[in-house]
């Protein structure tokens, strides 16, 4: 993604909001991601990086009428991604973009699993908190290394302490799918995450997106 491609991305994402100030915030966010996290270079190597950033921005647009509304908000990203995500040698996984089979090459499955949402929130003036089992040591946002496969893993976080919550990366991550190949085990984890989301979200808070809730709902409907 060269400068022209970056500018096209800014223009496309800016159309998600009406207010001109929000267009400027999006432009500053993308340029900040490029400067601090090499968005342009990573997107050139892995096209799904742009898809991830676009999807996460669309979720913000669905959750907040104005980007200024997220300033100083405490926002939790469960399974936020990390700088150490690597796909196993061979595995069928469900990603945000559908089921995929990963062969010997893991090229294209590193940068898309980085903590882009927390980075975006930080650029936009929010106070993101990320939890993940991978490496987040060099990240500027508040983060905790947590094994989300363990019951009570988020009990250390105070109840009703977040203005908004998202979980969207866990059930499609290569490491989690390898750790919990059984659907029954994944459902147990989803139930625990939903319990934690209900406990941690402030009254009147916003659930930006929950893969755990979607997984549980699809199971009941089927």
CATH assignment at residue 133: 3.40.50
Would 29 be classed as within a structural domain? no
Residue 136 lies in a domain: yes
| pLDDT computed for residue 108 by the predictor | 46
Q: For tokens 């085990």, what's the residue?
A: 185
Q: Which of 115, 219, 133 is nearest to 176 (CA)?
A: 133
Note whether residue 210 is domain-resident: yes
In the chain, which residues have pLDDT < 70?
1, 85-109, 222
Residue 179: predicted pLDDT:
86
- For residue 40, is it within any domain? no
> Do the beta carbons of residue 106 and residue 87 sit within 8 Å?
yes
What are the E-state strand segments in 79-186? 91-95, 98-102, 127-132, 142-145, 162-167
Whether 53 is in a domain gets the answer no
The reported pLDDT for the residue numbered 86 is 59
Task: With respect to residue 35, please indicate whether it lies within any of the assigned structural domains.
Answer: no
CB half-sphere exposure, 53, CA atoms < 13 A: 28
pLDDT for position 1: 56
* Number of domains comprising the chain: 1
pLDDT at residue 208, rounded to an integer: 97
By residue range, what is the domain housing residue 139?
A: 66-221
Per the domain annotation, does 18 fall within a domain?
no
pLDDT tens for 106-151 read 454 589 989 999 999 999 999 999 999 989 999 999 999 999 999 9
Q: Is 101 part of a structural domain of the chain?
A: yes
């Amino acid at each position: 993604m060269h400068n022209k491609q970056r500018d096209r991305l800014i223009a496309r994402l800016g159309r998600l909001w009406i207010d001109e100030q929000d267009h400027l915030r999006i432009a500053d966010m993308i340029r900040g991601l490029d400067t601090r996290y090499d968005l342009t270079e990573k997107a050139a190597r892995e096209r799904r990086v742009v898809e991830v950033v676009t999807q996460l921005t669309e979720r913000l647009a669905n959750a907040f009428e104005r980007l200024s509304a997220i300033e100083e908000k405490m926002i939790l990203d469960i399974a936020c991604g990390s700088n150490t995500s690597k796909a196993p040698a061979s595995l069928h996984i469900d990603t945000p973009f559908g089921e995929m089979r990963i062969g010997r090459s893991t090229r294209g499955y590193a940068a898309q699993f980085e903590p882009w949402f927390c980075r975006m929130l930080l650029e936009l003036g929010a106070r993101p908190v990320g939890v993940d089992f991978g490496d987040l040591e060099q990240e500027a946002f508040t983060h905790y290394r947590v094994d989300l496969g363990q019951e009570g893993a988020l009990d250390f976080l105070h109840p009703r302490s977040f203005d908004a919550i998202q979980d969207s990366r866990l059930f499609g991550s290569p490491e989690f799918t390898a750790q919990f190949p059984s659907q029954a085990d994944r459902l147990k984890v989803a139930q625990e995450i939903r319990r934690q989301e209900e406990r941690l979200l402030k009254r009147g808070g916003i659930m930006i997106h929950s893969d755990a809730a979607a997984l549980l709902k699809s199971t009941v409907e089927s």
